[in-house]
Amino acid sequence: MNIRKILNDRFNYPFPNLISPFAATLQEVTDTQWIDGELKDLVPFSTREKYKQTKTGFMSARWWPKTRSFERMLPLGRFMLWSMYNDDMYEVATVAEVRNAQERSVAVLKGQITPEEAQIPLAYQLYAIREGFMEFIPAASVNRFANAINDYFDGLEMEVLYKQQKIFPTVGNLLNIRVRILMICAFIDTIEIQNEVTLPDHIYAHPVIKRLYELTTRIIGYFNDVQSLLKDEESGEVYFNVVKVLQHHYQITRDDAVAETIRLHDADLEAFLVLRAALPDFGKWNDAVLALIEDMGAFMKGWQSVSLLETARYGINGFPQAAELPKA
């Protein structure tokens, strides 16, 4: 199965393919100041090299391509790198470890405890993310972002339970939980830093906007699961890959499960486009809402582009093994 060809040919997004001019500079900061600097003692050299090849600086440049200043890109880049480290670290953790990380991570992001009090490996990164965000968006927006991270950990706890018991969730349960564990809703919240507009709470709470958040996450999730298929099969962590879930429950071939994943993806993408074309009237916020939704589309296209052009994370031996990572 040629995964790369499938990702290129079968996933089609009607959104512009953009990249920030800060991409290379942000990647250099990521590699030298963060991975080989602040995070040096967390993982061995070989693992640090894998994170460099993940190219989170380029991921950030494709997800927030219209960010006007490098200063605004820095906390976004930190968040992207943290999301990879954190996801790897807790992917094989216990429920108790996830709950501990959840409580302390969210408390740091909300400014309720210091990194020293948190006593988790990535506490200082979370503190730096919070401080960076607070330079550009109000505290209420940072708290909304922290609540989205809290939802991510809720989903991660459910994922851990299924994996520990080696049980495949139903397709419906998987899709509902994946909306949380992919962390995309938190990423969408950070678009505010790029666009330099803080929307009122009632817009974020609007059912159409909430549905677009959900669809964006699901759409990226389908792509991610095809992209991660070899990685998940190699590691044995197959219980939360939609291709493997479909294959298990429907007793179909892997090729047929990939085809069904693409069908689900295309149906959700069509639903996204239909909603985008018939938005409610948000008055003076119409342009800002449309910009937010266009940037959700940029996430979809940007993830495809970085997957095909830059990151080595989803290839064989391109990702850290559990033994290489610090204990949670």
* Domain CATH code at residue 147: 1.10.600.10
> The domain containing residue 95 runs over which residues?
23-324
User: Please, what is the average pLDDT of the chain?
Assistant: 94
In the chain, % of residues over pLDDT 90: 86
Instruction: Count how many residues are written for the chain.
Output: 328
**Concatenated DSSP letters for 248-276?**
HHHT--HHHHHHHHHHHHHHHHHHHHHHH
**Domain membership flag for residue 284:** yes
Spatial contact of 261 and 226, defined as CB atoms under 8 Å apart:
yes
**Domain membership flag for residue 44:** yes
**Domain membership flag for residue 1:** no
Distance of CA 310 to the CA centre of its chain: 16
Instruction: Say what the pLDDT of residue 229 is.
Output: 92
Instruction: Say what the pLDDT of residue 95 is.
Output: 93
**Domain membership flag for residue 2:** no
* Number of Cα atoms under 13 Å in the Cβ half of residue 258: 18
Look-up of token digits 């999730």: 221
In the chain, % of residues over pLDDT 70: 96
The angle subtended at Cα 309 by Cα 313 and Cα 41, nearest 5°, is 35
Identity of the amino acid at 97: E
> In the structure encoding, which two tokens stand for residue 235, read together?
């590691």
Count of structural domains within the chain: 1
How do residues 126-139 score in pLDDT, each as one tens digit? 999 999 999 999 99
Q: pTM of the predicted model, to two decimals? A: 0.94
**What helix, strand, coil percent values describe the chain, rounded to 5?**
70, 0, 30
Going by C-beta distance under 8 Å and a sequence separation of 6 or more, which residues neighbour residue 215? Answer: 268, 269, 271, 272, 275
**Domain membership flag for residue 18:** no
**Domain membership flag for residue 320:** yes
Spatial contact of 249 and 170, defined as CB atoms under 8 Å apart:
yes
Spatial contact of 166 and 239, defined as CB atoms under 8 Å apart:
yes
> In the structure encoding, which two tokens stand for residue 318, read together?
């391109």
Instruction: Output b/e per residue, 229-263; b: 16+ Cβ within 10 A.
Output: bebbeeeebbbbbbbbbbbbeeeeeeeebbbbbbe
> In the structure encoding, which two tokens stand for residue 103, read together?
């409580």
**Domain membership flag for residue 17:** no
How do residues 72-108 score in pLDDT, each as one tens digit? 999 999 999 999 999 988 988 899 999 999 999 999 9
Look-up of token digits 């590699």: 31
**Domain membership flag for residue 87:** yes
12/29 Cα distance (integer angstroms): 32
